[in-house]
Amino acid sequence: MIQKLNITIELDDHETPAFEHWLKDQVNVLDFLVVPDTSQLYKNDPVFKKLSKCVKDAKKARDRYYNEKR
């Protein structure tokens, strides 16, 4: 059985390209995404904070649905 994993790690900006290249040499990478730092936006923008909660709730509902149907 093949599993898909989602891992979030922190690297310095200058390390990211080399890590991405190394990782793609090691495994079949389906997606590689650099996650933006939204901490200031989350802290200072109530609309962004509300949208973030909507995304979190939607993911939770999707996962719950998936677990009920499998």
pLDDT value for 32: 96
Q: Is residue 2 part of a domain?
A: no
Total count of domains within the chain? 1
Structural tokens at position 11: 């690297």
Residue 51 located in a structural domain: yes
Residue 1 lies in a domain: no
Q: Position of tokens 């509300």?
A: 50
Express each pLDDT in 10-51 by its tens digit: 999 999 999 999 999 999 999 999 999 999 999 999 999 999
Burial of 64 (0-12, 13-18, 19+ CB in 10 A): exposed
The verdict on pTM exceeding 0.85 is no
Q: How far apart are CA 57 and CA 32, in angstroms?
A: 24
One-letter amino acid for residue 66 of the chain? Y
Domain range for 62 is 13-69
